[in-house]
Amino acid sequence: VSQPTDPGTIKALTFDVFGTVVDWRNGIAEDGRAFGAGHGIEADWVAFADAWRARYQPAMAEVREGRRPWTILDVLHRENLDAVLAAMNIDGIDEAARDDLNRAWHRLPPWPDVVAGLTRMKRRFILGTLSNGNVALMVNLAKNSGLPWDVILGAEVAGHYKPDPESYRATARLLGLPPEACVLVAAHNSDLLAASREGFRTAFVKRPTEHGPAQTTDLAPNHDFDFVAEDFLDLAKQLGC
Amino acid sequence: VSQPTDPGTIKALTFDVFGTVVDWRNGIAEDGRAFGAGHGIEADWVAFADAWRARYQPAMAEVREGRRPWTILDVLHRENLDAVLAAMNIDGIDEAARDDLNRAWHRLPPWPDVVAGLTRMKRRFILGTLSNGNVALMVNLAKNSGLPWDVILGAEVAGHYKPDPESYRATARLLGLPPEACVLVAAHNSDLLAASREGFRTAFVKRPTEHGPAQTTDLAPNHDFDFVAEDFLDLAKQLGC
């Protein structure tokens, strides 16, 4: 059994966002329903959300693996939206309506514990995003929901998508901190494992319904992370906030 | 006479920081005095602040003009500190003490109107830094004084020091905004003029004692800027906040 991690050695908490901070599935489904109502389209909007999200990792893989130059997530999301709408046989939607629906990712709702938990943790630590979402997406999300970030970092600023090592390294470097003074907070084992390989501390936060009530993945930590928390309020408490 | 600028067309306010948001001269002099007291050194610490700041533009010029690869301001400040201490015949100061004094730039005090003005403007606009200071410096400054930025942008993220055009262009691009939806707020004519050439809106805020009571530069706007304000509270009022 490893020693517990002393919160006094931590300076910055960096956060995965989609799934960890915001509920993308219900948020996208909700905006899909409003879009459908406005265009007279009936569909399974939760399935729409899942189909859109299913194209997320493959689109980033094109960039990560060098088949495509750096491209921000808003652009990947927009291309993926066109593909999902086509696969659902939804056509006749103009560019402005597609752009607006694409911005559903800028309006995602936070999980209920998030704002209160971040507000407590902000008193003691630097709070930053370490997301694959681009800066504008992260800023708009924060303005919409009052997420009290100190700094927006992550993929666009690093020029690399997670879990590329440089996405974590650039984040610590920009903060002027050694990686061991930084924690990645995430609901995903793979992201935390990649961060820990770059020297980050790790906090697994459970989000057992990110993928809906029948979720089978990331229900529990698969590795020896520094912190394991039920939600952001529990994490704040464990960190002495 | 040009038309007044409609605040409704503005989405983001981006801020010069040294001189506009924080009082570097008194802040550095104060930390200099504490350093002197700790090391038994008597000196004119206001002159020390001016001498350190005088090396700021020449050090960035090395980078801007391509004679030196990208180097963050913390590193330039540290080199300049060594030069200033040597010029003052101060020696026997170890690396840790020099590093600590260098972080005086991370502890600079805001002008008295800043926190209240930013807090008002934050309700309506995205607030970002557009400074030559590096990200860690900006984050630490904000944590020290409660500056409520939504996002830290500027030179390090752009990879270019102001007034290079790319420093402004990258800031608007990262915000996902056209430059005309962004305002640069600054106490310096040259910075505002460079930003306006890239399509930014401009707000001149008077800081008539940035360089001390005998200041002769930047006492008034030299160009037709969109807003001219006495301080951040006046600017907030003009922007309808």
pLDDT at site B4: 81
> Which of B:169-208 have CB within 8 Å of A?
174-177
- Residue B4, preceding bond cis, omega within 30 degrees? no
How many C-beta atoms surround the C-beta of residue A158 within 10 A?
A: 21
Angle at A220 between CA A219 and CA A221, to 5 degrees: 140
Say which amino acid occupies B71.
T
* Complex prediction ipTM: 0.96
**CB of A101 within 8 A of CB of A37?**
no
Q: What pLDDT, on the 0 to 100 scale, is given for residue A4?
A: 81
Chain segment B112-158, per-residue pLDDT in tens: 999 999 999 999 999 999 999 999 999 999 999 999 999 999 999 99
Contact residues, B window 117-156, toward A, CB-based 8 Å cutoff: 126, 128, 134-140, 142-143, 149-153, 156
From chain B, pick out residues whose CB is under 8 angstroms from the CB of A138. 151
Chain A interface, best mutation among B143, B145, B182, by max A CB count within 10 A: B143
Q: Tell me the per-residue pLDDT of B177-194, one tens digit each, with 9 for 90 and over.
A: 999 999 999 999 999 999
Task: Answer whether A126 sits within 8 Å of B139, measured CB to CB.
Answer: yes
pLDDT score at A2: 61
For chain A, 241 residues long, give each residue's pLDDT as a single digit of tens.
467 889 999 999 999 999 999 999 999 999 999 999 999 999 999 999 999 999 999 999 999 999 999 999 999 999 999 999 999 999 999 999 999 999 999 999 999 999 999 999 999 999 999 999 999 999 999 999 999 999 999 999 999 999 999 999 999 999 999 999 999 999 999 999 999 999 999 999 999 999 999 999 999 999 999 999 999 999 999 999 9
Number of CB atoms found within 10 A of residue A70's CB: 10
Report how far residue A198's alpha carbon sits from residue A179's, in angstroms, rounded to the nearest whole number.
Answer: 7
The sign of the dihedral angle between the CA atoms of A207, A208, A214, A219 is: positive
pLDDT at A26: 98
pTM of the model: 0.96
Are B176 and A74 an interchain contact pair (Cβ–Cβ within 8 Å)?
yes
Q: List, for chain B, all residue ranges whose pLDDT scores fall below the cut of 50.
A: 1
Number of cross-chain residue pairs from A and B with Cβ atoms under 8 Å apart: 59
In A, minimum Cα distance to B127 occurs at: A139
B62, B65, B67, B69 alpha-carbon torsion, rounded to 10°? 80
DSSP label of A219: S
Task: Please indicate if any CB of chain A lies within 8 Å of the CB of B157.
Answer: yes
Q: What percent of chain B has pLDDT over 70?
A: 99
Instruction: Give contacts of A 52-81 with B, CB under 8 A.
Output: 74
